[in-house]
Amino acid sequence: MVGTELLLGEVIDTNSAFLAQRLAELGVDVYYVARVGDNRQRIAKLVQEACQRADLVITAGGLGPTADDLTKEAVADAFGLEMELRKEVLAVLEERFRLLETCMSDNNRRQAYLPKGAQALPNPKGTAPGVLLELAEGKAVIMLPGVPVELEAMMDDSVVPYIKQRLGENEAATIYSRVLRFYGLGESSIDSLVQEIMEAGTNPTIAPYAGGGEVRLRITAKAASETEAARLIEPVEEQLLNKLGPYFYGHGDEQMEMVVARLLLSQGKTVAVAESCTGGLISNRLTNIPGSSGYYLQGAITYSNAAKESVLGVDPKLLAEYGAVSEPVAKAMAAGVRQWAGADLGISVTGIAGPGGGTEVKPVGLVFFGLSHAGGTKGYRRQFAGDRLQIKDRAALAALNILRQHLLESK
């Protein structure tokens, strides 16, 4: 992991955790992770040492266009290689800059230089190409950029296939895993509900991860093939779902908004969103999915009482009697936004994200939701903990889950 900002503790390194997870899934043991600053000699020395103790060394960072991006040069030094200009890499860079209608600087041209004998790895999300350098005795150094979205895409597109191919078909035991996503139960509750199942066997193993207001369980099996692994994983998944079924909402990387989008599209329904404290976050998540115009029509962020009245037609008497943060107002907002947009479903949120604005009766983190459909309108009350951004996040997730549950029931 290359970068002075990492060494100084200004940036927390998350790349190595991502890489380690992917490598574990391939059955590759990670023995060391090291971090070094933007110093050509020290990078070179570290890569030399790493190559002595490992078959594959992956670096992250230091491939950018600036003078302190030195990884390629340092690796070339480590193995006594020259740097050479690659015309095909330069052509890709030039095309990218042409599309962006931006001038290409001499610094960017530096990114087209690779150590002699190395192979460029395409970067679909940025300018810095990755590098694969194969050395004697089957050893290899792979250089990836430090920007997480770029590194992650390149790991999946180029590095994982390369490692799989190197490991070969018959190189036995690979690690396969399946992730189950749950909403509405804490990590310790899930833990105590499924402890017996978790302790019953060693293949597959079950590991819980909590974060972002939800819990994931990863079932990991070691097997010679994917079919064999599925055979091991499936009965355990069934046992877990027997216990935790009502809280399960998706597999793998399937986020809540993807489940909601799938249900909306399959039922041919449209949705409109009225947000107060979440400030646009629910609409943002619903429109993160490609093709969202198929179910998302329009949304309103009605922060002020005046906006709740004029846009959503909320009765001023409700606002006066119950206050903007109340179940009657949430319901009126949901019914109002559904009508305003001419949508099948209306979902609304009103709450106190803090840090100010809380009272004894209505503390920070109190949030009301409304869901309106042709058959009527329902209200919901939730209390969340955390800071302003966490409360916004958790309220948005709760709203999406309310939508999901309604769609499941109305199927």
Please check whether residue 383 is in contact with residue 363, taking contact to mean a CB–CB distance below 8 angstroms: yes
Tell me the closest approach of the beta carbon of residue 305 to a copy of itself, in angstroms. Answer: 10
Residues 6 or more apart in contact with residue 389 via CB below 8 angstroms: none
Q: Does 211 bind a copy of itself (CB under 8 A)?
A: yes
Selection from 342, 336, 388, 346 nearest residue 367 by Cα:
388
Of 167 and 175, the one with the shorter C-beta distance to a copy of itself is 175
Q: Does 287 bind a copy of itself (CB under 8 A)?
A: yes
Stretch that binds a copy of itself, among 166-174, 203-211, 224-232, 236-244 (CB under 8 A): 203-211
Considering only residues 183 to 202 of the shown chain, the ones binding a copy of itself according to CB under 8 A are 186-189, 191-192, 195, 198-199
d(CA 46, CA 34): 8
The structure tokens listed for 36 are 């070094």
Binder among 2, 38, 118, 249 for a copy of itself (CB under 8 A):
38
Tell me the closest approach of the beta carbon of residue 395 to a copy of itself, in angstroms. Answer: 12
The structure tokens listed for 50 are 């790493």
d(CA 344, CA 295): 9
Q: Does 42 bind a copy of itself (CB under 8 A)?
A: yes
Please check whether residue 2 is in contact with residue 72, taking contact to mean a CB–CB distance below 8 angstroms: no
Binder among 184, 280, 313, 358 for a copy of itself (CB under 8 A):
280
Of 195 and 242, the one with the shorter C-beta distance to a copy of itself is 195
Binder among 75, 114, 147, 349 for a copy of itself (CB under 8 A):
147
| 87, 97, 329 from 122: Cα distances, Å | 14, 15, 52
Tell me the closest approach of the beta carbon of residue 253 to a copy of itself, in angstroms. Answer: 11
Q: Does 6 bind a copy of itself (CB under 8 A)?
A: yes
Binder among 279, 313, 323, 358 for a copy of itself (CB under 8 A):
279
Q: Does 288 bind a copy of itself (CB under 8 A)?
A: yes
Q: Does 36 bind a copy of itself (CB under 8 A)?
A: yes
Question: Given the DSSP bridges, would you call strands 271-275 and 345-351 parallel, antiparallel or unpaired?
Answer: parallel
Considering only residues 331 to 390 of the shown chain, the ones binding a copy of itself according to CB under 8 A are 341, 354-356, 363, 383, 385-390
Of 13 and 81, the one with the shorter C-beta distance to a copy of itself is 13
Q: Does 306 bind a copy of itself (CB under 8 A)?
A: yes
Binder among 243, 297, 405, 410 for a copy of itself (CB under 8 A):
297
Please check whether residue 348 is in contact with residue 330, taking contact to mean a CB–CB distance below 8 angstroms: yes
Helix (H, G, I), strand (E, B) or coil at 271: strand
Considering only residues 44 to 103 of the shown chain, the ones binding a copy of itself according to CB under 8 A are 46, 49, 64-68, 96, 99-103
Q: Does 225 bind a copy of itself (CB under 8 A)?
A: no
| 304, 310, 371 from 341: Cα distances, Å | 19, 14, 14
Q: How many CB atoms lie within 10 A of CB 8?
A: 9
Q: Does 203 bind a copy of itself (CB under 8 A)?
A: no
Q: Does 12 bind a copy of itself (CB under 8 A)?
A: yes
Stretch that binds a copy of itself, among 33-41, 83-91, 136-144, 327-335 (CB under 8 A): 33-41
Residues 6 or more apart in contact with residue 183 via CB below 8 angstroms: 213, 214, 247, 249, 256, 397, 401
The structure tokens listed for 297 are 């029509």
Tell me the closest approach of the beta carbon of residue 57 to a copy of itself, in angstroms. Answer: 13
Q: Which residues pair with 127 in a beta bridge?
A: none
Tell me the closest approach of the beta carbon of residue 327 to a copy of itself, in angstroms. Answer: 16
Please check whether residue 201 is in contact with residue 219, taking contact to mean a CB–CB distance below 8 angstroms: no
